[in-house]
Amino acid sequence: MTLTTVLQTRDTMLDSPPLLLLLLLFASPSGAQPPNPEQHKEVLISSSGQPFPWNHMRLPKTVSPLHYDLGIHPNLTTLDFTGVVRIQLQVHEDTGVIVLHAKQMQITEALLLAPEGVRPLRVLEYPPFHQLALLSDTLLTRGRTYEVLLGFAATLSDSFHGFYRSSYHTSSGAVRVLASTQFEATFARAAFPCFDEPAFKAKFTIRIIREPRHIAVSNMPTVKTVALPGGLLEDHFDTTVKMSTYLVAYIVSDFLSVSRTTQRGVKISVYAVPEKIDQTAFALDTAVRLLDFYEDYFDIPYPLPKQDLAAIPDFQSGAMENWGLTTYRETALLYDPDKSSPSDKLAITKVIAHELAHQWFGNLVTMEWWNDLWLNEGFAKFMEFISVNVTNPELHVDDFFLGKCFEAMEVDSLPSSHPVSTHVENPMQIQEIFDDVSYDKGACILNMLRDFVTPEAFEIGIIRYLRRFSYQNTVSRHLWESLTDVSAHVHTRGRACLDVQAIMDTWTLQEGFPLVTVEVRGREVRLSQERYLKTDEPSLTDGFLWQIPLTYVTSASSTIRRFLLKTKTDVLYLPQEVDWVKFNVDMSGYYMVHYEGDGWNAIINLLQHNHTVLTSNDRASLVHDVFQLVRSVGRSGTTLDTALELSLYLSRETETMAVTQGFQELVPLYKLMEKRDMSYIVDLFRGLIDRQEWTDSGSVSERVLRSYLLLFGSVRNYPPCVEKATQLFNAWRASGGHMSLPVDVTMAVFTVGARTPEGWDFLFERYRTSLQMSVKSRMKVQSLRGEVMKLQDLPDVLVTISRNPHGYKLAWDFLRANWHTLIKKFDLGTSLVAYMVNGVTNQYSTTEMLDEVKLFFGSLTEETGSEMRCIQQTYETIGDNIRWMDAHLPHLQQRLINQC
């Protein structure tokens, strides 16, 4: 794959700027540059060889956009586009230069539209920063408004970003082409010249030229369509509200749509390719209910007249929150009641909830800069669970929130983690923070804060925050101030006014999370905190201190008690002596707990004799914490035997979160061994697997658990599972694939069926011809071949192959051989690149493989990814695996021998 052509600017626009103008730019105290003269030692050279009049990655604040009038003409035959943009500007300081963004496009015209008349602008470009400098031969005066007009042309991107091309096959085999946008975080600049930073909010009036066989949609409704010469049509869209460039969106396609109206009159439409429009009903119904919920919850009306949801055939991420036109992977939006699973329904509902939450958190109120991305993504992730719990109670979404915290902790326990609010500068660094820390940790610390200040006070605080900063940009401090103000006037569990910022700064401004050590001595509970790390470098834990909202229950009382731990050590006193104490109730807090002395033995005894005394979330958190403590080098009192003894209770466990966490902790340990003998885990869960019916019945949580257990049993060759799956696959294949399989068991059936050449070929053909996206997603893990599978699905396939003991080396070799193609298609720093890097390598556990991984990644340049955080994470994870193997492998192998 190749990127679009390098940005080219007409030679006639690259004449040397007047010397006086350059002197003004570099000497003026106007604010066109920071005042520190040291920062001007480096003069950047533009692509024409002349000095570029700005030398920072961030744009100057001398001017800001007020309004864009944008006209775009994509050609879906030649796969390029042309456009004209008129930008109305407010001048804040006298200046003779306008610096803005443009990436990989040809500037064909540049004019200044001033009250005195139209004048040409000279154009310089600096491609490493994606910047254009527009130089005027007259001074732009502070306080006045001007317009610039820029003509441009570019190729539709063949990546998943900017204004890019997508395609799909009809059932008859015909290829249909469309063009769609994905501008977050720094890709609007690849579609039109703009001030592509979130703080430069403006209004947009958009026009799109298209052929009559296509439709065009954008953020706002169409106000009119004008016929043009040559049989073309031009759609004019209404002017947007004030918003950031990354939220602009438009699509030119042959999609069809279905529509409904919310209680307050907002038109909701779902767009999809024509042959899949019958899979849109669930998304439409879900979006209507969720938008109604958010308007009530935030007590702020949705400000646009419509909300479109579009299923894009080629889409890198899960979805994107463009204001008024949210875009999705097809698997994240399309649902077939007869073929889709409860997991599909849950996932689709959550992703719609996420994107619609963004219409307030992110779109209405936007972070000032990408360092506070978590204000967008952490809140949207958190609101998934708040909203779906109310609108779709049958999905039992609360059963799955805890998994988000565990996923965040996995990344956050590495030395290479980053603070929730973290410094970022260039596009790669910005892309990298779209990760589990910004999303999942952000959601988990918000959940912890909500539990601490009470849900009522929390809701009032965020409503005040949204109202106060509507159509503006914020930093984390603004949210904490709103919540502190509320706590001063609202009852928050009987406490005095809380300094929310003082508490939450400890969670957002430093990386990692605390391990709280608890030691019970009679009525006295001794507490201490330290940073938890999977490392043998104690110096990396120094200097960390959190304000931790502790919660606990005891054998004497199920009443949840609270204690704010602000210091390294402290003591609390119980009303009476107890048999056991459990901290972090329901794991509402983002911290781990170690029970010193006899604490773990008391909990193990409780779980073995009466595990239902604790909630399923409490049990899942205990499983998580005890196994993670074994992975922490030098943690006294927590041995592998302790963890395995605790896990024995899982043979009686039935709740989804606790069971799946048992698998999440046990399976990787056994995968680290060459033997990879999973018989211990199969035996542990044998009773629960045997109780599963091969049908679609029960609650969503029960069905998700059934699918998980039967798949595990089939993969691990548990005879009853393999026999039943084989029987069902043979019957399904004999019917030509027309027999209706229970949705919950299809993964197990397909996995077993693909083991024979005939079965694999049959599955491949069914995948190639299927239009049900949920069915394709369950088949795709079996194969990768040519153009049949969308490239967007490659990361999932690659990581799945790497998890097979026979495929891990194949996946690694593929990643190395195709590295340069992959980073061009998926872009440096994106979550999918990190997913492939970490997913392919995270089970390696030998120094030989670590050396091989370091040799490859060490050979990269900065331009090809050498500075990506995921590479450092890979080194740390493999190093942790090696240490674990050295410490525990002989003992685990002996334990297996003793069981035989």
355 is known as an active-site residue: yes
Fold of the CATH domain 512-649: Immunoglobulin-like (2.60.40)
DSSP 674: S
Could you give the C-alpha distances from 706 to 289, 338, 688, 690, 713, in angstroms and in order?
29, 18, 9, 10, 11
| Distance, CA of 481 to CA of 465 (rounded, Å) | 8
In the sheet that holds 514-521, the strands lie side by side as 569-573, 524-531, 514-521, 592-595
Using a 10 angstrom Cβ sphere, with 0-12 exposed, 13-18 middle and 19 or more buried, the burial of residue 161 is buried
Domain ranges of the chain: 44-254, 257-365, 368-511, 512-649, 677-780, 784-899
User: Between vectors from CA 665 to CA 755 and to CA 874, what angle results, nearest 5°?
Assistant: 85
- Annotated catalytic residue, options 355, 410, 530, 665: 355
Using a 10 angstrom Cβ sphere, with 0-12 exposed, 13-18 middle and 19 or more buried, the burial of residue 900 is exposed
pLDDT at residue 494, rounded to an integer? 54
Is the Cβ–Cβ distance between 401 and 385 less than 8 Å?
A: yes
What does pLDDT average to in each consecutive run of 10 residues of the chain (900 residues)? 28 31 32 41 89 96 98 97 98 97 97 92 97 96 96 95 94 93 97 98 98 98 96 98 98 97 97 96 97 96 97 93 97 90 92 97 97 95 96 91 94 94 93 94 96 93 96 96 80 67 96 96 95 79 92 95 96 95 96 95 96 96 94 70 93 93 88 68 93 91 92 93 96 92 92 91 81 53 52 86 82 93 88 92 91 95 91 92 84 66
Binding-site residue positions for Zn(2+): 354, 358, 377
Task: Look up the pTM and report it.
Answer: 0.89
Is the Cβ–Cβ distance between 167 and 79 less than 8 Å?
A: no
| Distance, CA of 91 to CA of 112 (rounded, Å) | 13
308 closest CA partner among 245, 251, 376: 251
128 Cβ contact partners less than 8 Å away, ≥ 6 residues apart: none
pLDDT at residue 701, rounded to an integer? 87
Q: What is the CA radius of gyration of the chain?
A: 29
283 closest CA partner among 305, 303, 310: 310
The reply to whether 368-511 shares the fold of 257-365 is: yes
370 closest CA partner among 197, 487, 500, 147: 197
> What's the residue count for the chain?
900
pLDDT at residue 40, rounded to an integer? 47
pLDDT at residue 775, rounded to an integer? 54
Binding-site residue positions: 354, 358, 377
Could you tell me the CATH superfamily of domain 368-511? Neutral Protease Domain 2 (1.10.390.10)
For residue 114, count other CB atoms closer than 10 A to its CB.
17
Fold of the CATH domain 44-254: Immunoglobulin-like (2.60.40)
Is the Cβ–Cβ distance between 530 and 632 less than 8 Å?
A: no
- Would you report the helix, strand and coil content of the chain in percent, each value rounded to 5? 45, 20, 35
| Token couple for 197 | 């930073």
Could you give the C-alpha distances from 537 to 689, 696, 845, 854, in angstroms and in order?
41, 50, 19, 20
pLDDT at residue 672, rounded to an integer? 72
CATH number of 257-365: 1.10.390.10
For 547, the 3-state DSSP assignment is coil
pLDDT at residue 5, rounded to an integer? 28
